[in-house]
Amino acid sequence: MVRIKKSQRILVICPFPQAVAAGQRLKYEQYFPDWESEGYQIVVSSFMDAAMWRVVYTRGNLLAKIAGTFRGYVRRIADIFRLPFYDVVYVFMWVTPIGTSFYERIYRLLSKRLIYDIEDSSHIEKPNEYNPIVKLLKSKHKTTYLVKVADHVITSSPFLNDFCLGLNLKKRCTYITSSVDTDRFLPVERYNNEQKVVIGWTGTFSSKPYLDLIREVLVDLARRCDFKLVVIGNFQYQLPGVDLEVIQWTSEHEVTDLQKIDIGLYPLPENDWVLGKSGLKAIQYMAFGLPTVATAVGNTPNVIQHLENGWLVKSHAEWVDALEQLLKDPALRKRLGQAARQAVLKNFSKQAVKSTYMQILSET
């Protein structure tokens, strides 16, 4: 284990409240106890508070979003005055969500050491169906500036890491996969057809459009096979013609809800934005020993080996065929699911990943 000087202070600057966004929970947040055990004192400053988180990805609620944004900027201005008192400033995604890189430049100037953790291809414009006005106000220059000037950049995929290496002045960029606590994410190994087989998906409002990509796949599949679809998220969902259960995500029931699933879904579009995605959903399902069907794009083939520990697909027909075979063949589900669990234990568990974070924190 890398040893650091005691009583080092780290200020985490992040978009979302703690313990709610998977991109934060299953990336750096879960390592806070390890950092603290090695001598870091951690303070977290989230741009969004709980009230804003509840409405940010919903349609409407304009006044609540404006008020939440105002409160976020007040927090960021207050943070400026404490930056010099921290040994490390750890920025996840951005300092402020809209406008120029003005705040990012101030934070870089006043930070002794700055680590930038970039998730997804945020240097590329992404459609925003919930807040189209915010889309016009956002600037990708925030991301490129932070990548360029950070003392170290942590990336979410090999593709994104290559991009950042070409931009970072110190050439210090490290790809760290999303990871899960395999002592907590435990399989139930229900590889049989004694009850209706459950196909499942989990995500938040922002990733709902990815689930929508396979709506017709699931409708067609329901005409051919008997199954139940479970959607775990923080939104409502309807899919006529499919036996559907929507479960509202909670941290208390996250594990038991995911253990209800027999087959995991990880659909993605084929575009440049996806090249920065880590494959987190697939890793979650695989940790539970679930065979996962995923779009063969971006980093996903680095997580899933086709027909060895999961199933990679491209077309509508391939989606339907893969899911139909898995629904009908419990032995196939068992073979792929158990191999998936072993892959996560080896490559995507907290134990496999935590030393990389500590190395970066101690050497930056």
User: With 0-12 CB in 10 A as exposed, 13-18 as middle and 19+ as buried, what is 106?
Assistant: middle
Q: How many CA atoms lie within 13 A of 329 on its CB side?
A: 13
Cα dihedral sign, 269-270-271-273: positive
* Architecture in CATH for domain 8-177+350-363: 3-Layer(aba) Sandwich (3.40)
Q: List pLDDT tens digits, range 76-89.
A: 999 999 999 999 99
| Other residues' Cβ atoms within 10 Å of the Cβ of residue 248 | 12
pLDDT score, position 23: 85
pLDDT score, position 137: 47
pLDDT score, position 138: 58
pLDDT score, position 135: 52
Q: Where are the domains of the chain?
A: 8-177+350-363, 198-347
pLDDT score, position 126: 56
* Architecture in CATH for domain 198-347: 3-Layer(aba) Sandwich (3.40)
For 55, phi and psi rounded to 5 degrees? -120, -10
Place of tokens 């409002």: 205
Which 3 state secondary structure label does DSSP give 229?
A: strand
pLDDT score, position 123: 57
Per residue of the chain (364 residues), what is the pLDDT tens digit? 555 455 799 999 999 999 888 889 989 999 999 999 999 999 999 999 999 998 887 778 999 999 999 999 999 999 999 999 999 999 999 999 998 999 999 999 999 999 999 987 665 555 544 455 445 445 678 999 999 999 999 999 999 999 999 999 999 999 999 999 999 999 998 899 999 999 999 998 888 999 999 999 999 999 999 999 999 998 899 999 999 999 999 989 999 999 999 999 999 999 888 888 899 999 999 999 999 999 999 999 999 999 999 999 999 999 999 999 999 999 999 999 999 999 999 999 999 999 999 999 988 7
pLDDT score, position 133: 43
Compute CA distances 41 → 31, 63, 134, 154, whole Å.
13, 36, 34, 20
| Other residues' Cβ atoms within 10 Å of the Cβ of residue 23 | 24
pLDDT score, position 134: 47
Asked if the domains 8-177+350-363 and 198-347 are classified in one and the same CATH topology, the answer is: yes
Compute CA distances 125 → 122, 144, 327, 362, whole Å.
7, 12, 38, 33
- Spatial separation of the C-alpha atoms in residues 244 and 227, rounded to whole Å: 9
DSSP string, 149-169: H-SEEEESSHHHHHHHHTT-T
* Structure-block tokens of residue 353: 């990943």
